[in-house]
């Protein structure tokens, strides 16, 4: 048997397993995303200067951003809502890590893949407008009676 056939047969077998057990695949993905998000958050923060309660809140929000991915195929819209809300709270508290929004992106892909197009676009626009709110600057208004620049 040629090398290419052995490698192709092996990868097809592993893909068949994940396709046969999609909930197991989602659980493994959720644990992987949670591990990356928590590790990124722990490495990004200065442990001596931050209070313990703030660090625990930050790690809890990291878990809330990634662990709902385990049930993404069964409940795509609630998973997207929970992950977007957790990312929004995390960003508004100024705790940003590199892997924080990956769970939200996976949830967004799931909504796009499993829901009707119009519903997916409507819900995604709503969630991302909420997510963009804390990072958008508030424009300064000129005082009453003063000339605009």
* Residue-number span of the structural domain to which 23 is assigned: 17-132
Looking at residue 139, its pLDDT comes to 44
| 10 occurs within a structural domain | no
Q: Is residue 122 very low, low, confident or very high in pLDDT (cuts 50, 70, 90)?
A: confident
| 87 occurs within a structural domain | yes
Closest CA relative to residue 65, chosen from 81, 83, 85, 47 = 83
DSSP state of 98: T
Q: Could you report the per-residue pLDDT of 58-73, keeping only the tens digit for each?
A: 888 889 989 999 999 9
Domain tally, the chain: 1
CA angle 90, 56, 83 (to 5 degrees): 35
Specify whether the CB–CB gap between 40 and 100 falls below 8 A: yes
Q: Is residue 27 very low, low, confident or very high in pLDDT (cuts 50, 70, 90)?
A: very high
Q: What is the DSSP string of 55-75?
A: HHHHHHHHHHHHGGGGGTTT-
| 8 occurs within a structural domain | no
| 6 occurs within a structural domain | no
Identify the burial level of 4 via C-beta atoms within 10 angstroms of its C-beta, where 0-12 means exposed, 13-18 middle and 19 or more buried.
Answer: exposed
Specify whether the CB–CB gap between 33 and 66 falls below 8 A: yes
Distance CA 78, CA 71 (A): 10
Distance CA 103, CA 20 (A): 22
pTM score, whole prediction: 0.72
**Plot region of 96 (φ>0 → left; ψ -120 to 50 → alpha; else → beta):** beta
Looking at residue 47, its pLDDT comes to 62
pLDDT (average), residues 85-113: 83
């Amino acid at each position: 048997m040629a090398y290419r056939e052995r490698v192709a047969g092996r990868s097809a077998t592993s893909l068949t397993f994940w396709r046969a057990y999609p909930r197991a695949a989602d659980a493994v993905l959720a644990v992987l995303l949670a591990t990356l998000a928590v590790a990124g958050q722990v490495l990004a923060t200065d442990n001596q200067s931050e209070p313990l309660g703030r660090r625990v809140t930050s790690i809890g929000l990291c878990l809330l951003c990634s662990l709902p991915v385990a049930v993404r195929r069964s409940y795509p819209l609630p998973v997207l809502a929970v992950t977007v809300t957790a990312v929004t709270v995390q960003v508004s508290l100024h705790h940003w890590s590199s892997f924080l929004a990956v769970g939200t992106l996976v949830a967004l892909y799931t909504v796009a893949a499993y829901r009707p197009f119009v519903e997916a676009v409507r819900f995604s626009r709503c969630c991302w407008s909420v997510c963009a709110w804390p990072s958008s600057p508030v424009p300064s208004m000129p005082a009453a009676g003063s000339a605009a620049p």
